[in-house]
Amino acid sequence: MTETPLFQIDVQISFGHCDAAGIVFYPNFFRWFDRCFHTFLLERHGGHAALCRQLGARGIGLMHADADFRSPGLDGDLFTLDLGPIDWANRSLTVPYTGRIDDRVLVEGYETRGIFAEREGRLTAAPTDQLRALIEGVDHG
């Protein structure tokens, strides 16, 4: 990414994250994407549960996720995952991730999330403008 990330977490890759081929089992990268997003909400914006109460939402959940796996991660590697900048649409937000060990890219991917709220008995994706204002107000304001 040429743009500055919004947030970053480190993950110490451990024995139990690896599969029988001795490399990180790929669904763990998606667990780390999700963890990075929730840690960003926690450290910058009061956390997912408090934001959901504020937005009248049930959750800021997944519509799409993808990842390109560039090189393997091994037990003992220190993995750094960058989040952002977020791309906002009316009823979804797309969060890019890039994960590295030192300068070597392991994974690049995206999560597209909606702000799911009950409206007339159904869960639907609510407008993102209020969340965008909260996040951009703090992080870009």
Judged by CB under 8 A, the number of residues near its own copies is 39
Answer yes or no whether residue 104 interacts with its own copies by CB under 8 A: no
* Closest C-alpha among 89, 85, 108 to residue 32: 108
Answer yes or no whether residue 101 interacts with its own copies by CB under 8 A: no
- Evaluated on CA atoms 51, 58, 90, 82, the torsion sign reads positive
Answer yes or no whether residue 121 interacts with its own copies by CB under 8 A: no
Distance of closest approach, residue 115 Cβ to its own copies, in angstroms = 12
CB 117 within 8 A of CB 70: no
Answer yes or no whether residue 68 interacts with its own copies by CB under 8 A: yes
Give the 3-state secondary structure of residue 113.
strand
Answer yes or no whether residue 45 interacts with its own copies by CB under 8 A: no
* Window of 40-48, 81-89, 94-102, 125-133 that interacts with its own copies by CB under 8 A: 40-48
Answer yes or no whether residue 27 interacts with its own copies by CB under 8 A: yes
Can the peptide bond before residue 85 be classed as cis, meaning omega within 30 degrees of 0? yes
- Evaluated on CA atoms 65, 132, 3, 74, the torsion sign reads negative
- CB contact set of 104 (below 8 Å; sequence gap of 6+): 70, 71
Answer yes or no whether residue 48 interacts with its own copies by CB under 8 A: yes
Q: Name the residue nearer to its own copies (CB basis): 21 or 140.
A: 21
| Terminal alpha carbon distance of the chain | 21
Footprint of its own copies (CB under 8 A): 12, 14-16, 18-23, 25-28, 30-31, 34-35, 38-39, 42, 47-49, 58-59, 61-69, 72, 75-76, 123
